[in-house]
Amino acid sequence: MVNITIDGIRLEVPENKNVLDCALDAGIYIPHLCHHPNLKELGSCRMCIVEMEGESEVITSCTLKAKEGLNIQTNSDRIRKLRNLALELLLAGHPEECTTCPKYGNCELQSLIQYIGANNARMKHRSKGFKVEEGNPLIVHDMNRCVLCGRCVRACNELRGVNVLQYQRKDLEDYVGTLHNKLLKDADCRFCTACTEVCPTGTIRDKISVAGAEQKREDVLVPCRYACPAHTNIPRYLRYIKEEKYDEATAVIREKLPFPKALGYICNHACELECKRKELNEPMAIRDLKRHAAEQDTGRFWKGKGKQLTDTGKKVCVIGGGPAGMTAAYYLRKQGHEVTIKEALPALGGMMRYGIPEYRLPGTIIDEEAAVILETGVKVETNARVENPAELLKEYDAVLMAVGTHKGVKLPIEGNDLEGVLLNIDFLRNASMGKETGMGRKVIVLGGGNVAFDCARTAKRLGAEEIHLACLESADTMPADEEEILQAREEGIHVYPSRTFESITGTDQVTGALFMEVESFTFDENRRAVIQKKTDSEHHIEADTVIFAVGQIPAISEEAGLKLERGNRIAIEEGQNTTGLKGMFAAGDAVYGTKSVVQAVASGRTAASEIDRYLGGDGDISEQLAPEETPEPYIGQIEGFGYLGRAEADVLDAEARKDNFKLVNLGIPAEKACGEAGRCLQCDLRLQIAKPKIWSDFSDKKEANES
Amino acid sequence: MTKEEAVGTVASLGIRELGVYNGSLADSWKPFLSGDDSEKLPVKLVAALNNNDSEKVLLEVVRSSPEKVLDGMEIAGYLLGAEEMILYLPEAETALKAELEASAADRGIRIVNDDFVDRRCFEGCAIHHIATTAALADGFAGSYAPGVYAAVRKNGVTGELKKIPYGTKVSDIIGTEQGEIKAVQIGSRLYDASALELEIDENFPMGNGVITVFDKTACMIEEAEKRLYESRKMGCGKCTFCREGLLQLQSFVKDITKGKGKNEYLPLLHEIGEALPYSTMCSIGQTGADFLTGTLTRFESEYDGHIRKKACVAEVCTAFVTIYIDPELCTGCGECMDVCPEDCIEGKSGFIHMIDNLDCTKCGKCIEVCEEGAVKKTAGRVPKLPDRLTKCGKFKKR
């Protein structure tokens, strides 16, 4: 440590630390532009000039190293004049109109102008005349706004080692760009967007606006993690997968959810829909990679290592052993409570077991992951349907209703109670339990979601000769996953989008169904469906079985003593999981309708946290399982990075799968997993970059101190 | 000889750094030899021409005695404990690089073809002028002769590079057959004719060694504009003052040469020009406005002429001159009409030709082609000229 004096204030600072940082850290503002806390000093902008005792010329404080006895003045007439001149020079080539700039209000240059008070009036103003480059994914380049601070170049070269951005020159006008003005993808850019992060002006910008967004900054910047209902730290575990560290990767996943493997098989991967990589070519295969990691995992980082608080003596009953219930039970147990799951069906799993067919998610996977939950001491009663949940509050301190949506819905059309009309839930459950389903030889499935496809494909495997699936939605708006539709077609299932269901025909026994073609299908302002049919398009499809797969609702009635709302869902208080009945909570599909397993997990987690708080805990169910490591910011160059294609999972051939319940998706081939993980843009790396300080940060502080 | 003794020799011989830093070579090594700085970066040794040297006559030192330059680098590299030694040769000198490569490699020296040494990449490193390393080799070979290199440039022709001992007068370097001299540029700086009496001593900033002589046909403001443009071309674009400052200076000066100058430009030219030497990282920005500031202090009257009187004394700035055809001399031959790229000369065979001054770009082609000397240029008043087609010899001044 050495002693230096800045503006008469004596400071003790580490030797050789640059004087600018010394001042900023001590609350003394020195204007600066090319300086950035994460980058090597360039000393070019001349904003941070200071006077030093014993030195006749002004010097840049960013390049000045602290030495014993240094005496610095940050302000004098000479300094102000030179700073002013430097800023005037920068503004001479910068657009005059601030308010039309997307960076308005968040611009460091604007802040400097306000602080220094310069304008371009004395200088010859020019427009640089660069074309705004919008042809790149994720990033916009508007070199007319560039003040050549060189932060982006240093970020790209020194911080990241990607070496895409360089100083360029055209007709004596300097700018930042790629060699030969190649598009970023062709220049092997890794789209880490460090350049946009450090750009002080509106020159290099995100295509999506970060500043104006409703979400938190990091949620906009790392959209996969935000899109995942459980907020799994996706970039972090993908990095581990890239390094073949599957134990670490799985531990990262397990920090947020107890079903890494099951979700690796069947997650609806909202994350992939938001993955920024899709702007380059295809999104990351996040789900398949998760499965790959979970399958290689040895449990080194989490088995017996997670959080387990001492017993609280409080008792919780979780009604329903599906993903929401099991998740809540798991985390409540870890908080030290005694937890009992009451499951109406013979085994744990809920819809994971009785809804999702075996060919998508083998029951053994559910057994394996449920076993981990039971190991924590969660007790389970199966075949234990609860008719009167409120009654349980006498025995338990809290009760969680996680009963799911186990009741199929029939449409009010003619013939809906004929012999041969089945319901999705019953059909799938019977099939999964090996029971008689009541299905004939020719089957019509009504519905276009994943459950409808589960029904159709299960029917195929149970030996139906002819299967037709019809839905109201058009081919592009069908709610089912694309892969489901494709695989169903491969298996010989006839899919008819844009059909209305007019009636089911037959006198006692189903003989088929009448359909019309849909001209247009929209929703009005009250979210009611508005359907226009094509005239004379009525047609009949013969069948002996019709399966309704048009939604499902909780199998619960008012008699349970809980307030129900639209769709028979359990009413909860705004933003909470409380039902209005003291000690009674609800979570999962039963609250918000059928969504997804990962949504149920997320709901189970919030419910667990809330119940823990209700029982006197702190509600903090977070766990640190994977090692805490700072990711490497120096990501280097990868030739053709932007063009690396997505690795697809191997799929069992249609012929080999259509008459049995063998697993269809065989997972991503092991040799492709690391490469696929390496395609990740690592959007989260940008969060490591510090925010530069501007003068208002200091004036705010001063005002706060004064008041 | 120990390292200390060797450095002592360099000091006692008084060997000077001939590059941007103008002082004792041994003194410039002190930070490397003191060894108390724990955060010191690995030292590299670079030998190069100055970044601002567009003429590159000092490259002759490498051409004529490459071994000296390389020997000197090796000596300096050894004394400073350099982990890497790099010789920068101009970008175009690939053949010279090839010629020296083997001998350089023997000494562990890497050669690169680049006109620009990025000082930011060599923080805490020793950067020497090529001529300095040659002098260093001389020093240890016992043949060191104090002095500077100089070459005289006149009428666009650069003479031979010569070694000049300290104490020589500028006029002696330029020689006797000089004619009337208006200004002298030595290195990057501009002097008036009184510079002829200057003696070159060890502190004299010789820059790139070129001494350029101007007679009264040179417009100092136009020359300043050319040099600002040259400096801009050389700059790397990083330093604000070099990039934007030189650009502003050039645009202001250009305005002045075009007759669009304003008085308020002058304080700005001073302000920016004076800030450049200490507001930039390398010689391009540091000396980029030297010539201009020279014109501001030593040829102030030319600014007054261009801005207020709208006249260029050297008749170089075409904005202030008019080209006209002397009606007394024109023979109506049509030669000037044929060469005029703007088609702005009117006339027909046997009639006095007339120049339309609105379109005339003052390129001067008509002056060159006229055998009669009838096409004339003036910065002063234009005599009475015909305003309609007039037969040769029939024009009356009235």
**Token pair for residue A421?**
């009309």
- DSSP-derived pairing of the beta strands A379-381 and A204-206: unpaired
CATH 3.40.50.11540 at B3-141, yes or no: yes
- B31: pLDDT confidence band, cut at 50, 70 and 90? confident
CATH number of the domain located at residue range(s) B321-378 in this protein: 3.30.70.20
Are B248 and A150 in contact (CB < 8 Å)? Answer: no
Q: What is the pLDDT of residue A707?
A: 45
How is domain A407-553 classified at the CATH fold level?
Answer: FAD/NAD(P)-binding domain (3.50.50)
Q: What is the pLDDT of residue B140?
A: 94
Q: State the complex-level ipTM.
A: 0.90
Closest residue on chain A to B255 (Cα):
A124
Mean pLDDT of chain B: 92
The top-level CATH class assigned to A108-206 is alpha beta
Q: Give the mutation candidate from A60, A123, A147 for the B interface (greatest B CB count, under 10 A).
A: A123
CATH number of the domain located at residue range(s) A217-303+633-687 in this protein: 1.10.1060
CATH number of the domain located at residue range(s) A2-75 in this protein: 3.10.20.740
Out of A622-626, B15-19, B183-187, pick the least confident: B15-19
Determine contact, residues A652/A662, Cβ cutoff 8 Å.
yes
Give the residue range(s) of CATH 3.10.20.90 domains in chain B: 148-214
Give the residue range(s) of CATH 1.20.1440.230 domains in chain B: 220-309
Closest Cα in chain A, distance from residue B119 (Å): 11
pLDDT in tens, B165-190: 999 999 999 986 667 899 999 999 99
Give the residue range(s) of CATH 3.30.70.20 domains in chain A: 108-206
Give the residue range(s) of CATH 3.40.50.11540 domains in chain B: 3-141
Determine contact, residues A606/A619, Cβ cutoff 8 Å.
no
- In percent, the amount of chain A with pLDDT more than 70 equals 99
Which CATH architecture best describes the domain A315-406+554-614? 3-Layer(bba) Sandwich (3.50)
**Token pair for residue A615?**
């029982």
Burial of A427 (0-12, 13-18, 19+ CB in 10 A): buried
Are B39 and A16 in contact (CB < 8 Å)? Answer: yes
Query: What is the reported pTM?
Result: 0.90
Residues 6 or more apart whose Cβ sits within 8 Å of residue A115:
A31, A695
Q: Is A97 on the interface with B (CB under 8 A)?
A: no
Total residues belonging to chain B: 398
Query: Which residues of chain B make contact with A172, given a CB cutoff of 8 A?
Result: 232-233, 247
Give the residue range(s) of CATH 3.10.20.740 domains in chain A: 2-75
Q: What angle, 0 to 180 degrees and rounded to 10, lies between the N-to-C axes of helices A363-375 and A323-334?
A: 20
Query: Which residues of chain A make contact with B278, given a CB cutoff of 8 A?
Result: 57-58
A667 membership: H or E segment, kind and range: strand A665-667
Q: Is B271 on the interface with A (CB under 8 A)?
A: yes
pLDDT in tens, A86-136: 999 999 999 998 999 999 999 999 999 999 998 889 999 999 999 999 999
**Token pair for residue A352?**
């994971």
pLDDT in tens, A545-570: 999 999 999 999 888 889 999 999 99
Residue A605 scores a pLDDT above 80: yes
Q: Is B266 on the interface with A (CB under 8 A)?
A: no
Rounded-to-integer distance, Cα A177 and Cα A167, Å? 6
Residue A355 scores a pLDDT above 50: yes
Mean pLDDT of chain A: 95
Are B248 and A16 in contact (CB < 8 Å)? Answer: no
Residue A701 scores a pLDDT above 80: no
Q: Is A89 on the interface with B (CB under 8 A)?
A: yes
Give the residue range(s) of CATH 3.30.70.20 domains in chain B: 321-378
Query: Which residues of chain A make contact with B243, given a CB cutoff of 8 A?
Result: 148, 174
Q: What is the pLDDT of residue A18?
A: 95
Total residues belonging to chain A: 707
- B40: pLDDT confidence band, cut at 50, 70 and 90? low
- A258: pLDDT confidence band, cut at 50, 70 and 90? very high
**Token pair for residue A459?**
């029917």
User: How many of the other CB atoms lie within 10 Å of CB of A180?
Assistant: 8
The top-level CATH class assigned to B148-214 is alpha beta
A169 membership: H or E segment, kind and range: strand A166-170
How is domain B220-309 classified at the CATH fold level?
Answer: de novo design (two linked rop proteins) (1.20.1440)
